[in-house]
Amino acid sequence: AVAAATSTYVLVNFKTRKLSIAPKEMVDQYADFSTKDSSILGASLPRKGKLASLSPDDAEVCSSYVVEASDIDLNGHVGASVYIHWILDSAVAQGQRLDKISSLDVEYKQECFLGERIQCLTRSQDAEDGSGMEIDHLVQTEEGNVLLRARSSFHA
């Protein structure tokens, strides 16, 4: 396998911007796409691990950005690929080579919008099994609103 990805989706009430419970009929429509049994995909998907808790006190600011119009997707907020770009840029700033990446786990927490000032914070450590380096990422607004947490792993 060259790459594997999983996603978890939620239903949001656009008026209240709160999570909603999907009607059973809607859930049943997508039962064939469930990855609980990944054998139908012909490959075994990795299960998401728990991301380490990272606070600004435990990390260093690697880079800062101001959200530009080109960062905004059709939903009016920063697109997922832009966040990935910010994460990978911060890994490169930590001395990692992108051709050595072995995994990337991302947990999106909150949207951000045009003009917001963003900080990418990182904390690096050797992988527990000694196979390379792991970087914990925290992407937040300058005011401290957490936008996402992530962990990237790089083989030696």
- For the entire predicted model, the pTM comes to 0.75
pLDDT of 115 reads 97
Across the chain, which has 156 residues, the per-10-residue mean pLDDT values are 68 80 83 67 65 82 93 92 94 90 89 95 88 92 93 91
DSSP the chain: ----------EEETTTTEEEPPPHHHHHHTGGG--SSGGGGTSPPPPPPPPPP--GGGSEEEEEEE--GGGB-TTSSB-HHHHHHHHHHHHHHTT--GGGEEEEEEEE-----TT-EEEEEEEEEE-TTSSEEEEEEEEEETT--EEEEEEEEEE-
